[in-house]
Amino acid sequence: MKKERGLTELYQEDPDRADYEIFGRKSETNRRGFLKGAGLATLMLTVGMPIPYYKNLPAGWVPAAWADNLKDFVIQGKNGLDVLNDRPVNAQTPPHLLDDDITPVNRHFIRNNGIPPTSVDASSWMIKVEGEIQKPMQWSIQDLKREFEVVTYRLQIECGGNGRGFFNPPAKGNQWTLGAVGCSEWTGVRLKDVLDAVGLKETAVYTAHYGADTHLSGKADKLPISRGVPISKAINPYSLIAFAQNGEDIHPMNGAPLRLVMPGWPGSCSHKWLNRIWVRDQVHDGPKMTGTSYRVPKYNVAAGTKVPKEDFKIIQSMPVKSLITSPQTDMKLPSGTRSLFVRGHAWAGDNHVTDVHVSTDFGATWVKANLADPVNPYAWQRWQAVVNFPSHGYYEVWARATDNQGNQQPFAINWNPKGYLNNAMHRIAVTVAA
């Protein structure tokens, strides 16, 4: 059977073949895709403009004007979210709707693994903590507010599969593109304070999280997800048991009335509808903790490689990343306008971002953006810059963040079987009128 390949995959695997199939001729002088001459002219017709910096095009490049429109399926949801599927409900936020420093509740992405509880009473909700501790205890939400310091932090949460839709060959799972991320203000109590109250034993190694959502099968004895984190992450002062989002009750699809917020790690660690924490003497082995779930290979692999399960490692801190939130892609500058103000956010898992640079010539040169400090650890950071265009034509604005450990966003991410940790540079299409 003939294998069907998407445009991006075709250019990554065989640029010459891609040029031939699209333009009817092979690349000239080792041009590595989107050839010069007649082929370049054809390409310019498709974007409707000259491409001033075409000599800098990297291997595997596909125009952002095309790539941002290559979506498997999108159902427009309320409040501007794109709904990926409805059982369970999963929805992402278009980048231009993530421009706020504090992500509004109605624009925060939704990631569900099971069916949310339909009957939620915050006044009677209880959470219990048990396992490798000195004294098992349980609290109501009011108990938490009364017995522990209540704190509010701006914390980013990102799905481990954000960007999966750009992997080729495709990885199974929700085809997130860019919008499975948000940075709301979360109010709650520190998980550390709760664990201090119950007294961790020396045997405590890992937490295990449980919620009130149910399995898609409807079977009461099956859990949709139960993940956990090492004790070192659990006692981080910014790991919260949260009961409010942006000063209000948490939205039902974001885990009301109680959830964990484990910022900087995959969103699956931030369990929703939280009602139990089990402290364990081993790495937790609940649903979505074993096998290849939320794991990546311990080494780089070629696209399409089958990796043995024992060669996977659990994802912890998320990679450095940035997002262009203004302007929206496919921006059109009127005649006579040769500059553009761009802005967005950047974040870096357990690290912090030290630099953001932007490019308009496909990465040949870079301009340093103004970068704000985070309002608190684990908050995303605002960046902004003015870019200039020398002539009319088709351009792309690329954004590249660097963290305090020297990690930098790549043009393209190494492939992995589950499509996790895609932190490739965000880019938007801009056309400048003659």
Cβ atoms within 10 Å, residue 237: 12
Give the model's pLDDT for residue 59.
60
Cβ atoms within 10 Å, residue 178: 21
CB 37 within 8 A of CB 54: no
Q: Where in the chain is the domain with CATH 2.60.40.650?
A: 321-432
Structure tokens at 170: 């495709």
Cα–Cα distance for residue pair 214/117, rounded to 1 Å: 7
CB 117 within 8 A of CB 273: yes
Give the model's pLDDT for residue 165.
94
What sign for the dihedral angle of Cα 149, 154, 155, 157?
A: positive
| CA distances for 192 relative to 60, 140, 145, 268, 317, angstroms | 46, 17, 15, 19, 18
CB 182 within 8 A of CB 108: yes
Write phi, then psi, for 151 (nearest 5 degrees): -125, 155
Give the model's pLDDT for residue 15.
56
CA dihedral 248→270→114→70, nearest 10 degrees, is 90
CB 275 within 8 A of CB 125: yes
CB 107 within 8 A of CB 80: yes
- Measuring CA to CA, which residue among 390, 399, 323, 321 is closest to residue 359? 399
Cα–Cα distance for residue pair 379/377, rounded to 1 Å: 6
Question: Could you list the pLDDT tens digit for every one of the 434 residues in the chain?
Answer: 333 444 455 555 555 555 444 444 444 444 444 444 445 554 555 566 678 887 787 765 666 665 444 343 333 334 788 888 877 888 899 999 999 999 999 999 999 999 989 889 999 999 999 999 999 999 999 999 999 999 999 999 999 999 999 999 999 999 999 999 999 999 999 999 999 999 999 999 999 999 999 998 889 899 999 999 999 999 999 999 999 999 999 998 899 999 999 999 999 999 999 999 999 999 999 999 999 999 999 999 999 999 999 999 999 999 999 999 999 999 999 999 999 999 999 999 999 999 999 999 999 999 999 999 999 999 999 999 999 999 999 999 999 999 999 999 999 999 999 999 999 999 999 999 99
Write phi, then psi, for 228 (nearest 5 degrees): -155, 180
| CA distances for 283 relative to 208, 227, 235, 242, 321, angstroms | 9, 10, 16, 24, 28
CA dihedral 289→347→12→40, nearest 10 degrees, is 160
Give the model's pLDDT for residue 159.
98
Cα–Cα distance for residue pair 368/383, rounded to 1 Å: 10
Q: Which CATH number fits domain 321-432: 1.20.1600.10, 1.10.10.10, 2.60.40.650, 3.40.50.300?
A: 2.60.40.650
The alpha-carbon radius of gyration of the chain (Å, integer) is 23
CB 163 within 8 A of CB 176: yes
Give the model's pLDDT for residue 161.
97
Q: Tell me the CATH number for domain 75-314.
A: 3.90.420.10
Give the model's pLDDT for residue 119.
83
Q: Where in the chain is the domain with CATH 3.90.420.10?
A: 75-314
CB 208 within 8 A of CB 226: yes
